[in-house]
Amino acid sequence: MTPDDVDALLNRVPPPSPTPQLRDRVLGELARRITLEARRPRRIVWGGVALAMAIAGFLSILWIVLPTGATPGEGRGQGDGDPAFARKVWEFPFSHAGISRLTLLDRLYVEGSDGTLAALERSSGQAAWIFRSDGGAPLDVPPVIVPELLTEIDALQLELRALSTQLDEKLKTTGPGNETQALQKRRNWVRERLRVCQQQDNVYLVSRQVLYCLDRPNGALKWTQRLSFAPSGPPAAIRGYLFMPDAAGARVHALDVEKKGADVLSYQNPVAAAGTSVLGGPVYLDPSLFFVSPDASLHCFRVSDGALVWNFRAEPGKVGELIVHKHQRRGPNGALAKADINLVLFSTGSTMVAMDADRGVPLWTFDCGAPPSGRPVLFGENACVVTEKGLLLSLELLPDQNLKVPAGGLRWKLDGCSQILMSGRKGLYVVGSKQEILVMKESSGEIRARYPYRSLSNFVTNPSDGLLYAVRPGGTIVCFEEAD
């Protein structure tokens, strides 16, 4: 039996099917063992038995390590109380303790109250891996990853395959020479870059003041580090570093990933009053780190040298969540402008503030009538904000293209909303105040449809792929998409 024969068998494995990575790993090891057998003296009977035992062993391991639990969905409204607009894509019965939080990153991360973290594939619901913290302590903050690494790893893997193909063709046609040497040199560089990226491709967790570093693809524990401070929010993760907020110390700590979370630097605003604590999690946008203090001071530090770039003091009040966004403006004719602008959005009291992240200059402010609840959600040219009084506001990100008038533009508003869910083909989906999901026209705020959802909870805001994630009674996680 050859690797091709085993591959054909794997194609007939019923759901959940093996992932491409697992398939490549199994087939690659089989090919390696077959090659070793071919180089040894021929022992027809015992060689065949050994090879058969190896194949059987690999298949048995395959069945053990395959992710299980997800059930594909069919048709509409697969559960009592599911919204009628939705078609179930998959469901996953979470067999651990009660679900405490859902976090949507590269995967859907499900936290249990017993310290369990399950990483579910977004499209299939298969469990890529499940991890449990020491002593079963729940996580203090949501897990974080370095999202830009995923894009680079995919690009490097594609380039590596293309270079290998080019090199093979070059050796067949022209043989060794300057061109093949150049291709080999480039391939070696790509391999090394890929190795470094994969080492930094992690998931970071915090539980009871202990920082955990897991391998993102398989959930293996790499290292732990007990922190000397109590984090006041989730860290910002970049290549090689974590920026962890410390409320009691009124600073943000830089933790070195290569040194297993060693505290190597801290950022503290010299302008703010002594003892002012850092609020929530910092946000990073190359090359700067942004965070807000409860006195409504917004700080921008340059990460390379730790220098304070600018500080902005807003009106005192309850401080909302911070987002930083690289925005590509459109001109009067709708065409994209050549230059991007980096924006910072945050709120103090009932006032939403949009700032130029590079210059520290406010672009506009808007009185929302009440403090915003959660962070703004960006859809194209607009920022959607839900206030603590249940008012949904749609604001233009840059209503004045010349950026000379510091005033935000209200496009529309709607009362009786608690959360923005997603932007779908039929409109903007939001959670209403009467256990309804409302479908709205994004351009005007007109309500197009109302759907009861009685039995669902733990909704996750998803502005990226039009999938709706929620939890049914009993801990079953379900993923929906719009029905035709």
pLDDT of 162 reads: 95
Q: Are 108 and 122 in contact (CB under 8 A)?
A: yes
Give the H/E segment covering residue 163: helix 147-173
How confident is residue 434, by pLDDT bands cut at 50, 70 and 90?
A: confident
Dihedral of CA atoms 48, 53, 59, 63 in degrees, nearest 10, equals 170
Indicate the domain borders of the chain: 3-65, 73-96+416-484, 147-199, 227-313, 315-412
Q: What is the tens place of the pLDDT at every residue in 20-58?
A: 445 455 555 555 555 454 444 444 444 454 444 555 454
- The answer to whether the bond into 16 is cis (omega within 30° of 0) is yes
What are the strands, taking DSSP E only, across 275-335?
Answer: 279-285, 288-292, 297-302, 307-313, 323-330
How confident is residue 484, by pLDDT bands cut at 50, 70 and 90?
A: confident
- As a CATH number, domain 227-313 is 2.40.10.480
Closest CA to 24 of 8, 7, 9: 7
Q: Are 282 and 243 in contact (CB under 8 A)?
A: yes
Token output for 285 = 């946008």
Higher-pLDDT residue of 315 and 188 is: 188
pLDDT of 45 reads: 42
pLDDT of 409 reads: 83
315-412: same fold as 227-313? yes
Q: What counts of helices (H) and strands (E) characterise the chain? A: 5, 31
pLDDT of 318 reads: 85
Dihedral of CA atoms 205, 210, 214, 219 in degrees, nearest 10, equals -80
Q: Does 443 score more than 60 pLDDT?
A: yes
Closest CA to 445 of 388, 392, 396: 392
Distance CA 56, CA 4 (A): 15
Helices 20-39 and 3-11 cross at an angle (nearest 10°) of 160
Classify 315-412 by CATH class.
Answer: mainly beta
Q: Across 79-88, 111-120, 228-237, 321-330, which has the greatest mean pLDDT?
A: 111-120
265, with CB counted inside 10 A (0-12, 13-18, 19+), is middle
Task: Please compute the mean of the pLDDT values over residues 333-351 and round it to a whole number.
Answer: 78
Classify 73-96+416-484 by CATH class.
Answer: mainly beta
Distance CA 164, CA 153 (A): 16
Report the 10 Å Cβ neighbour count for 373.
19
Q: Does 314 score more than 90 pLDDT?
A: no
Q: Are 314 and 364 in contact (CB under 8 A)?
A: no
In order of 362, 366, 384, the CA distances from 346 in angstroms are 11, 11, 13
pLDDT of 30 reads: 53
Closest CA to 111 of 81, 87, 137: 137
300, with CB counted inside 10 A (0-12, 13-18, 19+), is buried
Residue 427's SS3 state is strand
CA atoms within 13 A on the CB side of 76: 9
Q: What is the tens place of the pLDDT at every residue in 247-305?
A: 788 789 999 999 999 999 988 866 545 445 666 789 999 999 998 877 778 889 999 88
Distance CA 298, CA 338 (A): 28
Residue 19's SS3 state is coil
Closest CA to 134 of 57, 37, 224, 234: 224
Task: Please compute the mean of the pLDDT values over residues 168-183 and round it to a whole number.
Answer: 88
Residue type at position 94 = F
Q: What is the tens place of the pLDDT at every residue in 390-422?
A: 999 999 888 655 544 444 688 999 999 999 999
Percent of the chain surpassing pLDDT 90: 52
